[in-house]
Structures are given as C-alpha cells and as structure tokens.
Structure 1
Amino acid sequence: MLLISTFTLLISSIIMILTSTLAKKTISDREKNSPYECGFDPSSSSRLPFSLRFFLIAVIFLIFDVEITLLLPITSTINLSNVYSWLSVTVFFLLGLLLGLYYEWYQGALEWSK
C-alpha cells in the first residue's frame, strides 16, 4: 500500500512539474499584452476602477443567498427528526446567522451610501 501511494505521489509530482515548465510563455510582446480594439491603439485605459463597495455588497448577497438555501430544508426535516433536537439545531443556526448579520451591520458593511 505504501509503495502504491509513493508511486502515485511521484507520478503526480512529475506531471505537475512538467506541465508548469512546458506551459510557461516567455515571449512578451506589447501588442499581445494590450487589449484588442479592432487593430487600433486603445484610446483609454482598459483597466477601469472597480468599486470595492459593490464587491462587498455582492459577496454579502451571495452569503445570504447560500444561507437561505440552507434554511429551506429545515422546514421539511421537522417530521423526520426529534422535535427538541430539530428545535435546538434550528435555533443555533438562526442565532449564528443573526450574529453574523449584527456583526456586518456593526462593521458598516450594510451601509449603502458613504
């Protein structure tokens, strides 16, 4: 078993080293690194400033979306489990969500305008 594990580790390491050395592109050209705009030189910078505020709000939305996905099966599992264990798990989960919401509110992550 140890021999098979060592052989597998050795083969995977060799493959990773080969792919990292063969995949490197060494040719750096100004034309290849610039954005393509129908053959013309770009008129402005292709790197637009990104709002960090928008990014944080999007991440918070995704987190709450996943939390809702985790909350939905709780109602259907009440008949399949003990009521006291179901209630304790549900209260613990909701308390964790509410503490996270309070922390985000306290840190000012939910402020829309600044």
Structure 2
Amino acid sequence: MQDYFDSYVVVVALLLIGGGIVAGGLTANRLLRPSRLTDEKLTTYECGVDPVGGDWAQSYVRYYVFAYLYVVFAVDAVFLFPWATIFAAPGYGMTTLGEMFVFLGFLAVGLLYAGRKGVLSWV
C-alpha cells in the first residue's frame, strides 16, 4: 500500500512547484507594477469608447440558444471519436452501434424540438 502512495509524491511535488512559480510571478507583478490611480483609470472602459447612456441594454436570448446548440453538437463530436475507435474492436460492434443510434436519436429529438420552437430561424 505504501508503494501506491509513493507514486503520488512526484505529482504533489510538481503541483507545489507549479503553484510556487505562479505565486512568485503574481507577487513579483504586484511588487514591480506602478500604482498611480487617476480618474481616467477608474472609469469604465470597453472597446475604446466612453460609456454613454444608461447601464441597461437588451440582448436577445436567441444568441444564447445558438451557443447552447453549438455546445450540444460539439459534445456530440467528442463522443463520436471514441465510439469510432471502439466500434472496430471485436465483440463491441453491434452494442456500440446501438448505443450510438440511441445517442444520435436524443440529439435529433433535441434538434427537432429547437426547430419547431423556431429557435433555428435567424432573424
């Protein structure tokens, strides 16, 4: 049992060294940076334009839904690659094929639902 935990000593040592390097860099940055606050530095800055108007702006939820759909299909691609490698292994062919059709069925139902709700139409 002792040999099992001895193998983690290297991992813990590397984590401590990495944390020390990050902490040292952040400390050096804080000690060496100039700290002269002015009114210009304390104003809100975005895209090089001075803030004008109120602090409320409307954004469409549709853009978030597009991002959500992208994430869903990116996850689909992440699951397809390991499936393709196991599919050729002996004894896993029909099982993995069935599992992938179930997975793709769930994705198709989600895409059909999004299409019927009108989410996929760009306005």
**TM beyond 0.5:** yes
Give the whole-Å Cα distance in 1 for the aligned partners of 2:44 and 2:118. Answer: 40
- Equivalent residue number for residue 117 of structure 2: 107
- Equivalent residue number for residue 19 of structure 2: none
Give the whole-Å Cα distance in 2 for the aligned partners of 1:65 and 1:43. Answer: 38
Higher relative contact order, structure no. (Cα contacts within 8 Å, ≥ 6 residues apart): 1
- Equivalent residue number for residue 43 of structure 2: 36
Q: How many residues align?
A: 77
Whether the 8 Å contact between 2:86 and 2:92 is mirrored in structure 1 is no
- How far the C-alpha of 1:36 sits from its partner, in A, is 2.3
- How far the C-alpha of 1:112 sits from its partner, in A, is 0.9
> Which segments of structure 1 move beyond 4 Å, counting only runs of 4 or more?
none
Q: Normalization by structure 2: what TM-score?
A: 0.52
- Residue segments in structure 1 that go unaligned for 5+ positions in a row: 1-34
Give the whole-Å Cα distance in 1 for the aligned partners of 2:97 and 2:62. Answer: 37
- Does residue 51 of structure 1 match 2:65? no
- Residue segments in structure 2 that go unaligned for 5+ positions in a row: 1-41, 46-50
Whether the 8 Å contact between 2:87 and 2:96 is mirrored in structure 1 is yes
Counterpart residue type for residue 70 of structure 2: F
Partner SS for 2:95: helix
- How far the C-alpha of 1:48 sits from its partner, in A, is 2.5
Give the alignment's Cα RMSD to 1 decimal.
2.4
Match of 2:96 among 72, 86, 95: 86
Identity in percent: 22
Give the whole-Å Cα distance in 1 for the aligned partners of 2:100 and 2:71. Answer: 21
Q: Normalization by structure 1: what TM-score?
A: 0.56
- How far the C-alpha of 1:46 sits from its partner, in A, is 3.3
- Equivalent residue number for residue 28 of structure 1: none
User: CA offsets, 1:3-59, max 9 Å, x none?
Assistant: xxxxxxxxxxxxxxxxxxxxxxxxxxxxxxxx8248xxx531233222222121112
